[in-house]
Amino acid sequence: MFDAMLRASLRACILAPLMLPPALASAEPVTLKFAFFTSDRSQIYQAELKPFVDAVNADGQGIVHIDVYFSNSISNVESAQPQIVSDGAADMAMVVLGSVGDRFHDTLSMALPGMFRTSREGSRVFEQLARGGLLDGYEDYFVVGAWVSDPENIHSRKPVASLADLKGLTVRVNNSIEAKTLEKFGAIPVLLPVNTTNDAMGKGIVDAVTIPPFMLFEFGLNRVTTYHYMIGLGGAPTALLMNRKKFESLPPAAQAIIRKYSGAWLIDRSTSQLEALDRSIVENLKSDSRRSVVFPSPEDSRTIHDVYRSIVAEYAAASDHNRKLVDRIEAEIIKLRAGE
């Protein structure tokens, strides 16, 4: 009698998992596809994105897992990254916003010169406005992270020691705001993806490039530039965007984990690393006798300041919407600096 009862109990224990609904019987996590345009060794990935991926994958075991597809393996067109997220070819992607045309036209306000002192300051303002629905173009996306790089500088294969040397210089730029700014100094801007710039310089298509210091070595541009003019243009905006419908379809526990490691958590960690890296690289450039690192003279600094103010004023004057956007940015900057 006892043996029969024992056999029945064991049989029930064995069969019980097989009788569970599929969602409960398999504890497989939801897998998300993340499209990234360069390699896992890049500082963009290591500093900006890896902290998020690692944290979600560690905290989300059995719930949610992110697989990263590196080096444009999903799409090799930089400007197509928002579309592959919208279409579902990827669940999330890192988007270089200067290259995607009018889709995120309000984001040009993040590239206005002279607005932000640091990457952290610009990124926190960008994140607040994008998540708050105050910037057009983000309606179909959950904003995981939003960054503005440190102010960009000019790195050239031709001598640049003053503003006068910019006249006639062909410069790769990140966005149309940067292009308008450099035109006022007599430069000839060319909008190009950063990962094609090295080749363009080798072919003589451009003489110089605008990038923050850490990206100089990221894409091998240190090998083709020896003159560094520290003009402190606006920063380059980028964002890690996730398909909103996909995000909202996730189990609540998965949504909570992604939210936990998005926004301020991610921005504060990544920008502190990149700002430190930028400072270190500038010091290394200054100590290299083969390079020329020039900061604008007092006279040139005044001219630069006046031009930057005029670019902001022109942007604000273009529409009531732009004026309100600039006012909101300035208000957010005041709040951030008051809390420092």
Task: Write out the two tokens for 137.
Answer: 């173009």
Torsion of CA 76, 82, 86, 91, to 10 degrees: 70
User: Over the stretch 258-309, which tens digit does the pLDDT of each residue have?
Assistant: 999 999 999 999 999 999 999 999 999 999 999 999 999 999 999 999 999 9
The structural domains of the chain, with segments of one domain joined by +, span 25-149+236-276, 153-234+291-319
CATH: 3.90.79.10, 3.40.50.12280, 3.30.70.1060, 3.40.190.10. Which one for 153-234+291-319? 3.40.190.10
User: Over the stretch 108-131, which tens digit does the pLDDT of each residue have?
Assistant: 999 999 999 999 999 999 999 999
The yes-or-no verdict on residue 138 having pLDDT over 60 is yes
Fold of 25-149+236-276: D-Maltodextrin-Binding Protein; domain 2 (3.40.190)
State which of 73-82, 83-92, 93-102 shows the largest mean pLDDT. Answer: 83-92
- Contact assessment for residue 210 and residue 201, using Cβ atoms and an 8 Å cutoff: no
Do the two domains 25-149+236-276 and 153-234+291-319 of this chain adopt the same fold? yes
The yes-or-no verdict on residue 194 having pLDDT over 60 is yes
Residue indicated by tokens 């500038």: 282
User: For residue 256, what pLDDT is reported?
Assistant: 98
Which stretches of the chain are DSSP H helices? Answer: 2-15, 22-25, 43, 50-59, 81-87, 119-131, 176-183, 197-202, 214-218, 244-249, 252-260, 264-287, 298-317, 320-338
Alpha-carbon dihedral sign for residues 178, 274, 296, 225: negative
Average pLDDT over residues 235-264: 97
- Which residues, in sequence order, are CB contacts of 66 under 8 Å at separation 6+? 31, 32, 34, 53, 56, 57, 92
CA distances from residue 168 to 78, 158, 204, 300 in whole angstroms, order as listed: 28, 11, 14, 17
How many other C-beta atoms lie within 10 A of the C-beta of residue 153? 25
- Band (pLDDT 50/70/90 cuts) for residue 77 is confident
Mean pLDDT of the chain: 90
